[in-house]
């Protein structure tokens, strides 16, 4: 009966006004984007208002729904960058495109140096009172001097208390097996009197393990009562990265990738070289914040430019090559430190290679994809001609007629979008939030696994060496990237992310639960289990956890770059990278509080992995798909089932088009024939 009334109303009803609920032109949020090209204008709540159909553009398209404008949109040929513009330019086969990709790889080496510099500049060495001799080292060294810091997101625990006061308590805690966590709990700190006696000195000698003769800690005696300043210095770079990702991402979507990249290069040279001239730790920490801010701008813009240069089948490979180049910087960093010997020389040597990037001002162009997506067709035309000239291409290769269509659109005004526009979407907002949580969890729980593995270094002599620690972490990251290449090739982005998140969750839960059970059974003499069995299991789970969590963090960032529209790609990348920065920040926070709350920290992230496993199923698959160019494209980037439907099987979830056809039936039945002439129940004019 409801369907008959709807048909009568659509064929020429009584003309009475519809109710003010859903018949007044509003649609469910999922249908707003689908209805916009037919004359709908997106409203603030994701709905659509009925608008007169504008005259069709010569290109045959309707209004540009993502910009909320009633004017005709540009030709679909120009908006289909991967299908028309990129093939016209030769894809990645053009020599100029290959040169630009190479130029995005080279700075990854310098970025790798900067990201892992904290492990050397701020490593807390063994120390003893000058004049007491090196034999007094055991009375004054620190746990942090033995564990160190494994990089910008693999920070290992540090604490300012002496180890000789902790030795007996630590052994008791490790032997009784009463602790249910993945590692023995750190014993309570020594009495203030004992700590004061060890720190009752005015001049110190240091045993630095990182190949340097002097670092930041030894220069300003950041030990004992001043040890907390080391953690603040570690905060500064990470906090600068977080703010840099958020701010430079928004700016890059508004003014372009190239200006943000070039200004970030200029200012990182200024702040980075000034860091080497710091006169106190306060100046050092402040300048490191600004260095991190500028470094974030370089990382983010290069990542976006790399993605936007590539065709669909090459994006992941090109990104992984850049990751391997950054890891080369991580592997070369100890040799660089041994060569420099002084932290100031090392800092200057890390920053000086960015001088070469000043040449990018004249050789690196703006992102053509971003110019086309924001309808800056005048600049896009000049850049296309520049590409064809560099690649020695003839105009006859323009089979699809990109240049003639571009000539018709030169008078258009640019339409730029800010990342805040994503709040009014439905699917796009959900996808970005899910990837932010994945990134936060992956980078955050990595520290828990690293802390657990290094907690057993007393029983594993190999882990007592700084270089063994450092290269163990680097090797795990390298193996993770290699595995990611294979897994993503066969399972895709979503399947690979799901697999690595499941591995992370299993490693975490087994470490928290199974080791507790082993610890209880090891108390019984006839159980056949010893503490060494528990330690081996803990180390094995930690390695698996670090391996999988590194892949989760890296793949989340790449996934976001693919599913975020070009007009807001840097803003979306900034959100996910900033979430990763918050995950990294948990490591120095736990260190600053002397490992208090570490076990709860691990439990919280373990619970987050379970939530992420469910949320990953909501993401779309982006393998071999064209990049979305505007908000409307990104909103239609909905998920597909993990397994394809069988032939003839009816899917359980309707598509947007099916929802548009069948929405509002019940409202029509209750409202009677109160629809205006020529309108349908879902608020769209009948064609």
Please tell me whether residues 403 and 459 are part of one structural domain.
no
Residue 18, domain member (yes or no): no
Q: Which residue has the higher pLDDT, 45 or 388?
A: 388
Q: Is 636 helix (H, G, I), strand (E, B) or coil?
A: coil
Average pLDDT value for residue range 89-93: 79
Q: Let me know if residue 193 belongs to a domain.
A: no
Domain final position from 396, 416, 436: 416
The reported pLDDT for the residue numbered 395 is: 67
- The pLDDT score that the predictor gives to residue 652 is 52
Question: Is there a domain that residue 155 lies in?
Answer: no
pLDDT at 502: 95
Q: Which residue has the higher pLDDT, 662 or 117?
A: 117
Q: Is the pLDDT of residue 295 over 70?
A: yes
3-class SS at 685?
strand
| Percent of the chain whose predicted confidence (pLDDT) is above 70 | 66
Cα-based angle 673, 675, 680 (whole degrees, multiple of 5): 110
pLDDT digits 0-9 by tens, 598-631: 678 788 888 999 999 999 998 988 888 889 988 8
- Establish if 26 belongs to a structural domain: no
Span 649-669, mean pLDDT?
Answer: 47
The yes-or-no verdict on residue 670 having pLDDT over 90 is no
Residues 511 and 441 in one domain: yes
Report pLDDT for 14: 41
pLDDT at 303: 95
pLDDT classification of 324: cutoffs 50, 70, 90: very high
Q: Which domain holds residue 442?
A: 420-521+530-638
Which one, of 167, 155, 148, lies nearest residue 208 by Cα?
148
Pick the more confident residue, 230 or 674.
230
Q: 266 vs 586, which has greater pLDDT?
A: 266
Q: Between 459 and 430, where is the model more confident?
A: 430
The pLDDT of 577-585, averaged and rounded, is 92
- 409-418: pLDDT as tens digits: 787 888 888 8
Stretch among 45-59, 98-112, 456-470 having the lowest mean pLDDT: 45-59
Q: What is the 3-state secondary structure (H, E, C) of 426-493?
A: CHHHHHHHHHHHHHHHHHHHHHHHHHHHHCCCCCCHHHHCHHHHHHHHHHHHHHHHHHHHHHHHHHHH
Residues 269 and 387 in one domain: yes
The predicted-structure confidence for 483-508, as pLDDT tens digits, reads as follows 999 999 999 899 999 999 999 999 98
Q: Is residue 432 part of a domain?
A: yes
- 631, 421 Cβ separation under 8 angstroms: yes
Cα–Cα distance, 480 to 449 (Å, whole number):
14
Q: Domain count of the chain?
A: 2
Task: Establish if 539 belongs to a structural domain.
Answer: yes
Torsion of CA 142, 146, 151, 154, to 10 degrees: -90
Residue 591 and residue 504 share a domain:
yes
| Residues 469, 391 share a domain | no
- Cα–Cα distances (Å) from 386 to 234, 363, 395, 396, 406, in that order, read 44, 11, 12, 16, 15
Q: What percent of the chain has pLDDT over 90?
A: 32
> Rounded mean pLDDT of 370-374?
90
At 657, give phi and psi (nearest 5°).
-65, -40
Do both 107 and 215 map to the same domain? yes
Looking at per-residue pLDDT, the higher value among 512 and 461 belongs to 512
Same domain? For 376 and 507 the reply is: no
Q: Report the candidate in 295, 589, 632 with the shortest Cα–Cα distance to residue 447.
A: 589
Residue ending a domain, among 359, 384, 416, is 416
Do 596 and 559 share a structural domain? yes
Same domain? 385 vs 426? no
Q: pLDDT tens-digit profile of 128-149?
A: 776 655 444 444 444 333 333 3
Task: Collapse the DSSP code of 159 into the 3-class scheme (helix H, G, I; strand E, B; otherwise coil) and give the result.
Answer: coil
Q: Which residue has the higher pLDDT, 289 or 392?
A: 289
Mean pLDDT value across the chain: 74
Which of 416, 451, 477 delimits the end of a domain? Answer: 416
The answer to which of 2-11, 53-62, 207-216 has the lowest mean pLDDT is 53-62
Q: Are residues 517 and 401 in the same domain?
A: no
Give the mean pLDDT of 285-295: 94
- What average pLDDT does the segment 218-233 reach? 82
The reported pLDDT for the residue numbered 66 is: 39
Do 475 and 601 have their domain in common? yes
Q: Is the pLDDT score of 161 beyond 80?
A: no
pTM metric for this prediction: 0.74
> Could you write out the three-class secondary structure of 216-234?
HHHHCCCCHHHCHHHHHHH
Mean pLDDT of 36-43: 39
Q: Give yes or no: residues 577 and 493 share one domain.
A: yes
In this structure, what CATH number is given to the domain that contains residue 579? 1.20.1250.20
């Amino acid at each position: 009966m409801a369907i008959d009334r709807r048909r009568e109303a659509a064929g020429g009803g009584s003309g009475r006004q519809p109710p003010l609920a859903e018949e007044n032109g509003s649609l469910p949020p999922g249908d707003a984007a689908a209805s916009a090209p037919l004359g709908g204008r997106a409203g603030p709540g994701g709905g659509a208002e009925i608008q007169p159909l504008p005259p069709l553009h010569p290109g045959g398209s309707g209004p540009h729904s993502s910009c909320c404008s009633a004017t005709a949109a540009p030709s679909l040929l120009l908006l289909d960058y991967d299908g028309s513009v990129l093939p016209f330019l030769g894809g990645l086969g053009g020599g100029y495109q290959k040169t630009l990709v190479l130029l995005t790889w080279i700075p990854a080496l310098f970025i790798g140096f900067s990201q892992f510099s904290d492990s050397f500049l701020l490593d807390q060495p063994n120390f003893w009172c000058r004049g007491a001799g090196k034999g007094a080292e055991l009375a004054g060294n620190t746990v942090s001097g033995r564990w160190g810091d494994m990089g910008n997101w693999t920070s290992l625990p540090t604490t300012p208390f002496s180890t000789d006061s902790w030795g007996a308590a630590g052994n008791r805690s490790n032997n009784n097996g009463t602790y249910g966590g993945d590692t023995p709990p750190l014993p309570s700190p020594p009495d203030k009197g004992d700590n004061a006696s060890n720190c009752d000195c005015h001049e110190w000698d240091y045993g630095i393990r990182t190949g340097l003769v002097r670092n930041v800690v030894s220069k300003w005696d950041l030990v004992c009562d001043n040890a907390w300043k080391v953690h603040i210095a570690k905060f500064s770079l990470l906090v600068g990265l977080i703010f840099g990702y958020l701010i430079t991402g928004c700016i890059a979507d508004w003014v372009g990738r190239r200006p943000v990249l070039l200004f970030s290069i200029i200012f990182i040279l200024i702040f980075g070289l000034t860091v080497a001239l710091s006169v106190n730790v306060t100046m050092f920490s402040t300048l490191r914040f600004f260095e991190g801010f500028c470094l974030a701008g370089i990382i983010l813009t290069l990542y976006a430019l790399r993605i936007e240069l590539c065709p669909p089948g090459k994006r992941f490979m090109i990104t992984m090559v850049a990751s391997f180049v950054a890891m080369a910087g991580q592997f070369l960093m100890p040799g660089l430190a041994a060569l420099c010997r002084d932290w100031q020389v090392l800092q200057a040597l890390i920053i000086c290679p960015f001088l070469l990037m000043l040449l990018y001002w004249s050789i690196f162009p703006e992102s053509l994809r971003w110019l086309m997506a924001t309808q800056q067709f005048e600049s896009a035309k000049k850049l296309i001609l520049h590409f064809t000239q560099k690649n020695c291409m003839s105009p006859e290769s323009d089979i699809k007629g990109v240049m003639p269509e571009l000539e018709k659109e030169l008078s258009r005004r640019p339409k730029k979008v800010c990342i805040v526009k994503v709040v009014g979407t439905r699917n796009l907002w959900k996808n970005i939030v899910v990837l932010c949580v994945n990134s936060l969890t992956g980078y955050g729980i990595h520290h828990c696994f690293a802390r657990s593995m290094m907690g057993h270094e007393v029983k594993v002599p190999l882990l007592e060496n700084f270089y063994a620690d450092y290269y163990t972490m680097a090797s795990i990251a390298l193996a993770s990237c290699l595995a990611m290449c294979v897994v993503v090739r066969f399972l895709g982005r979503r399947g690979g992310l799901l697999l690595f998140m499941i591995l992370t969750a299993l490693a975490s839960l087994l470490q928290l639960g199974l080791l507790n059970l082993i610890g209880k059974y090891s108390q019984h003499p006839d159980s056949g289990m010893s503490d060494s069995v528990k330690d081996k299991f803990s180390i094995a789970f930690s390695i698996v956890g670090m391996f999988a969590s590194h892949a989760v963090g890296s793949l989340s960032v790449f996934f976001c770059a693919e599913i975020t529209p070009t007009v807001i790609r840097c803003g979306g990348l900034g959100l996910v990278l900033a979430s990763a920065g918050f995950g990294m920040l948990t490591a120095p926070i736990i260190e600053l509080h002397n490992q208090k709350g570490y076990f709860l920290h691990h439990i919280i992230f373990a619970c987050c992995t379970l939530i992420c496993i469910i949320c990953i199923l909501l993401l779309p698959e982006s393998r071999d798909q064209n990049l979305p160019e505007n908000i409307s494209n990104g909103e239609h980037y909905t998920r597909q089932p993990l397994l394809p439907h069988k032939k003839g099987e009816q899917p359980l979830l309707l598509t947007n088009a099916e929802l548009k056809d069948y929405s509002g039936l019940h409202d029509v039945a209750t409202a009677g024939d109160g629809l205006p002439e020529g309108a349908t129940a879902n608020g769209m004019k009948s064609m």
